[in-house]
Amino acid sequence: MSIRENLLRKIENKTLKVAVIGLGYVGLPLAVEKAKVGYKTIGFDIQDEKVNMVNLGQNYIGDVVDSDLKKIVDEGMMSATTDFSVVAEADFIAICVPTPLDEFQQPDISYVRESTIEVAKHLKKGSIVVLESTTYPGTTEELLMPLLEEGSGLKCGEDFYLAFSPERVDPGNLVYKTKNTPKVVGGVGKEATEVVAAMYRNVLDGDVFEASSPKIAEMEKILENTYRNINIALVNEMAIICNKMGIDVWEVIDAASTKPYGFKAFYPGPGVGGHCIPLDPYYLSWKAREFNYHTQLIETSGIINDSMPAYVVERSSKILNRFKKALNGSKVLILGVAYKQDIDDYRESPALEVIKHFELEGAEVTFYDPHVSEYKYSGEVKVGLDKISSDIISEFDLVVITTAHKDVDYDMVEKSSKVIFDTKNAMKNISDREKIELL
């Protein structure tokens, strides 16, 4: 029986054994969905805490239902380990590790490289490896394939299959989760694509798009996030221009949104955060230099978005000046440090940069976030307020809203504040606008 036939048979009868490398925001939901439909799944992570929590059926990811994880662990369908040798038991290995930027804004693919080297040591004939981590076009064939072949002594396409299938995780999205989000698959060869697509069709409810190569799948993921990054930069620049002209950019967007075609609304803010949008365009810019091409529009959008935290502080200084207050020594309350509303994820959150800029200007900064009690940034741990009240709010010279969490009493904030700089239009339903200044 060929590798293709064997894998398709195991997919069909649910005897395929799955290993998921990395149990974070991407890996854990993916592992849970695979185990829920009947595939025996082993999760791997280098963090003991995550492994122990999974084995106890304790969830730590917002997009995973607590009872789902508990059920599949209790039934023996899922377990976790720090031992890479478990890969030897797996037919299907998904690599879901971080792909951050280094201090020079260049791709840091060390987690992908190290994971691949470890996988290669235990890779068995007849298995398939799928990279899910967002990265630059060419990673699967130029980095993973040689490492897997050299480390295992096996031949890609003959002894094992290799593919790329980009993660599409949107923390806090109430409609689209891992289960119902369409998937893109691009394999090294048609058979690899067919097998991975068959697996995901058995696991997920969303459509599966079969790309002609890993590079197509890698590039489409970069396009998704670059599209958002550029449009957010456009609306951020519009916000700056509108402020200078005395125009409400939020009403401008509402007006433009009435057009039923040719316009999609994006909204300004203190910058761009999360695990994808602020990072992925840099992967493409870095790779493009190999082809002697300078990505002007992409890099310009990054510059605009990266400048927004400093702009927020500059505007804040002008607001305080109207009250004859210097920024240096002023007490500032930041409302929200998560990178988007109603979640506890603060990765790459622009609010953290806003706080840093305020502190550099000598302001006394405190934060409150109903979902984030403390955060670590640049090696320093900062602890926020555990609650806010009228008495607490009234102590601050300025309140800056950097995340539009719904579970904040904005009526109380408005009544108790001296002045508010709302960078997310979170207080759009507050009728008394006298104390509120918008981005």
- Residues carrying an active site annotation: 276
**Closest to 33 measured CA to CA, from 77, 74, 76, 2:** 77
**Closest to 402 measured CA to CA, from 364, 363, 372, 360:** 372
- How many angstroms separate the CA atoms of 408 and 402, rounded? 12
φ and ψ at residue 9, rounded to 5 degrees: -65, -45
**Closest to 358 measured CA to CA, from 397, 323, 324, 303:** 397
- How many angstroms separate the CA atoms of 351 and 274, rounded? 11
CA-based torsion, 163, 118, 101, 61: positive or negative? positive
**Closest to 231 measured CA to CA, from 278, 279, 273, 264:** 264
Answer left, alpha or beta for residue 203, where phi above 0 means left and psi between -120 and 50 means alpha. Answer: alpha
The beta strand positions in 165-308, using DSSP E, are 183-187, 208-211
- How many angstroms separate the CA atoms of 171 and 26, rounded? 10
